[in-house]
Structure 1
Amino acid sequence: MSLTAGSDPSVETGSGQLLVHMRSVLPGLAGALRQVGNVILEDPAWASRATIVELGERSGTSPATVTRFCRSVGLGGYTELRVGIATEIGRADQAGWEVGIGADVLPTDPIERVLRTLLAVDLQAMHETAAGLDLRTIEVVVDALVAARRVDFYGVGGSAAVFEDMQMRMHRIGIASWSWSDVHNGLTSAALLGRDDVAIGLSHSGRSKETVEMLAQAKASGAATVAITNFSTSPIAEVADHLLCTSVRETSYRSGEMSARHSQFLVLDLLYLAVAQRTHERAKDTFARTADAVAQHRTPYEPRGRSARPADPQRGA
C-alpha cells in the first residue's frame, strides 16, 4: 500500500488488499478496535462467516465497536467487511496461499517443508507489496530522485544493511547519495539538506526513534521525505511527504524486520530501475566507468581442466 501522508487510509472492497490494509493500520488503532482487528487476522475464514454479534463477543467488545472498526479501516459497514474478507480468501485459495497470520515453521517440520513455507511466505509478501503499491506515488518519488542534488538514506539495524546496498547502486548510476545509520551523523547530514534534496527513511515497524528523528530533521530542512514501512499509521508516516508500504507477516524464528527484506528490496529495486531508466545515458556511462575501476580486482576466470600457468613457448601451444 502506498499513500501520500495525510490521505484517507481506506481500501476498496474486493481489491484483494483488505487484510493487508488491516495489518498496516492496526498498530495505530485504539485498544478495543485493535482487539477486533486481531481476532479477524487470527482467523479470517471464521470472521468471513461470523455475525457482527459473534465477532463482538470473540473480541471482547460489542457490535458498535465492530462497526467503528469497519469505519476506521475505510469500510461502510460490517457487510462490506465480510464480503472483502471472503473475496480475499477466495483469491488466496486460487493462488495456493494461506491468509491471516500465514504459514509458519514448526519445530518438527522437515527441511523440505521449511523451504516450501519460506518460499510461499516471501513470495506472498512480495506479491501483496507489489499489488498495494501506488505507482503514481512511485513516479513522484522517482521524479524527485532524478532531480535531486543529493539523496540521504536513513535506517538503523537491519534497515541500515538494506540501505547500504541501495546507496551504492544509486551512487554507481550518478545519483549523489549517502547512507546514515548513526543518528548523530545522520542528523548532521539532514540539517544540511534543502529543497533540492531527497531523504528516504526505512523502518519496518515505523517506530525506530533514530530513523524518525533523522527523517523529521530532513523534512524540517526542506527536503522531500519518503518513508518505507510496513505500517501506514506508524510515527514515521507523520514525517513523510510520501509513504510506501510493504506487506509482511511475522513468522516464527524470523522477526517482521527479517521477513521484510525481500519486500523492501522489491520497492527499492523498483525505484532504482526507474531512476536508471530516466537517466539512461548518464547511468550507462557511470555504471561502465565504475565497473572498469574495480575490474582489476576480479580474479580471471579459468575453465576447469586448463592450467592457470602461462604456456611454455618452447613446448608450443
Structure 2
Amino acid sequence: MVEREVDGHAPTAVVDASVILTMRAKLPEFTGALQRVAELVLADPANAARSTIVELAERSGTSPATVTRFCRALGFEGYADLRLGIAAETGRARAAGWSVDIGREIEPGDPLEKVLEQVMAADTRAMHDTAALLDLSEVERAAQAIAGASRVSIFGASGSALVGEEMQFSLHRIGVAAWAWTDVHNGLASAALSRPGDVALGISHSGQTRETIEMLAEAAGHGATTIALTSFPRSALAELADVVLLTATQATTFRPDALSARHPQLVVLDLLYVAVAQRTHQRSHAAFQRTAQAVDPHKAAKHSGVH
C-alpha cells in the first residue's frame, strides 16, 4: 500500500486553492446555524462580500457571533478577512470572463440559448476550479501505482459507475488489466481477491456512497493501494484512501452536484490515464496499436465518390 504524505494531503490543497472551494468542501461538516451561513454565502458570494456581518447574520437567521465562528472554521481570523477573500475571488472570476452568474436558477421557461450559456459556464468554471483544486503530486502517485499494478479494480455506483467504465476502457486500450465493478456483490468478491501490488479506485462525488466505500475498504484490507476520486476531502471514502483526487462542481437547476461532477471527474481521469500511458510508453504504444488494428475492420468502409 502507498503511505499518504502529510504535506500532500488533499484538504491542504483545498484551503490553498479557493475560499469558495474550501467552503464547498467543508459544507458537509457544518450543521445548523453554520450550515445556514455557508449555504447563504455559496448561493451568492458577491453579495456576501458586500454585506456587513450584521446583514449576513440577519439574512441567514443567525448571529454575528455565529458568522465569526464560521469564518474561523474556514481558517480566517474574522469576517473582514473572509470578505476580502471572497471579494478577491469574485473579482478574479469577473476578470476571467465569467459573464454568467453561476448559481442562479434555470427557470422552466428559459430559452435554450440561455440554458446552453448557463450549462457551458458552469462546466467551464468547474473545470478551472478542479484544476486549481487538484493536487498533482497525488495524480503522480496514483499514476505510478496504476502503471506498476498487476490489476486495477474500479468501483462506483450510478453516474460514477459510468465514469468508472470509461476509465476501464481507456486503461484496457493501453494494456492495463482493469475491471469496473458496478454490482456490489461482484465488486466485493473481486476486492476480496486483491493483494499487494493491486490498485483499487473508488469513485463517488459525495464520498459517502456506502457500496463504493465497502468495496474500497475490502480491497484495502487485502493490501491493495486505494485511490479515491471525490469532491469532498473529508468524506469517508477520502479518509479510507491512500491517494485522494479531488474535483469541483458547479450545480445548476436540473443538474445537481452529483450530475455536474461528471465532466470534472472525466477530466481528472483523462489526466490520470495520460500519466499512466507516459510511464508505460512502450507497452502502451504497442497495446494501443494492436487494439486499434483489432477493431479497424469493423469501421465503415470508405468509398470514393460517396458524399
2:214 match: secondary structure = helix
How many corresponding residue pairs?
A: 301
Aligned to 1:311: none
Between the aligned partners of 1:22 and 1:250, the Cα distance in structure 2 is 15
Between the aligned partners of 2:44 and 2:262, the Cα distance in structure 1 is 26
Is the Cα–Cα contact under 8 Å of residues 104 and 251 in structure 1 kept in the other structure?
A: yes
Is the Cα–Cα contact under 8 Å of residues 92 and 99 in structure 1 kept in the other structure?
A: no
Mapping 1:122-133, distance limit 5 Å: 122-133=123-134
Superposition deviation, residue 242 in structure 1? 1.8
Worse overlay, 202-211 or 233-242: 233-242
Between the aligned partners of 1:305 and 1:220, the Cα distance in structure 2 is 58
Residues 264 and 303 of structure 1: CA distance in aligned 2, closer, same or farther (over 3 Å) = farther
Superposition deviation, residue 27 in structure 1? 1.1
TM-score normalised according to structure 2 size: 0.91
Residues 143 and 207 of structure 1: CA distance in aligned 2, closer, same or farther (over 3 Å) = same
Mapping 1:70-109, distance limit 5 Å: 70-97=71-98, 102-109=103-110
Q: Percent identity?
A: 52
Residues 251 and 304 of structure 1: CA distance in aligned 2, closer, same or farther (over 3 Å) = farther
Residues 99 and 133 of structure 1: CA distance in aligned 2, closer, same or farther (over 3 Å) = farther
Aligned to 1:187: 188
Residues 218 and 76 of structure 1: CA distance in aligned 2, closer, same or farther (over 3 Å) = farther
Deviations 1:127-182 (A, max 9, x none): 11112111111111111111112111100111111111110110111211110010
**Alpha-carbon RMSD:** 2.1
Does residue 252 of structure 2 align to residue 248 of structure 1?
no
Aligned to 1:11: 15
Residues 128 and 231 of structure 1: CA distance in aligned 2, closer, same or farther (over 3 Å) = same
Residues 93 and 9 of structure 1: CA distance in aligned 2, closer, same or farther (over 3 Å) = closer
Between the aligned partners of 1:61 and 1:100, the Cα distance in structure 2 is 26
2:154 match: secondary structure = strand
Is the Cα–Cα contact under 8 Å of residues 45 and 86 in structure 1 kept in the other structure?
A: yes
Residues 100 and 118 of structure 1: CA distance in aligned 2, closer, same or farther (over 3 Å) = closer
Structure 1 residue ranges (4+ consecutive) displaced by more than 3 angstroms after TM superposition: 3-10, 98-101, 303-306
Superposition deviation, residue 256 in structure 1? 2.0
Residues 183 and 237 of structure 1: CA distance in aligned 2, closer, same or farther (over 3 Å) = same
Aligned to 1:52: 53
Is the Cα–Cα contact under 8 Å of residues 204 and 231 in structure 1 kept in the other structure?
A: yes
Residues 56 and 137 of structure 1: CA distance in aligned 2, closer, same or farther (over 3 Å) = same
Between the aligned partners of 1:160 and 1:70, the Cα distance in structure 2 is 36
Between the aligned partners of 2:119 and 2:238, the Cα distance in structure 1 is 29
Between the aligned partners of 2:10 and 2:88, the Cα distance in structure 1 is 28
Residues 195 and 32 of structure 1: CA distance in aligned 2, closer, same or farther (over 3 Å) = farther
**Partner amino acid, structure 1, of 2:138:** T
Superposition deviation, residue 22 in structure 1? 0.9
Aligned to 2:290: 289
**Partner amino acid, structure 2, of 1:294:** V
Which one has a bigger Cα radius of gyration? 1
Does residue 37 of structure 2 align to residue 43 of structure 1?
no
By percentage of residues, which structure has more helix? Answer: 2
Is the Cα–Cα contact under 8 Å of residues 104 and 117 in structure 1 kept in the other structure?
A: no
**Partner amino acid, structure 1, of 2:95:** Q
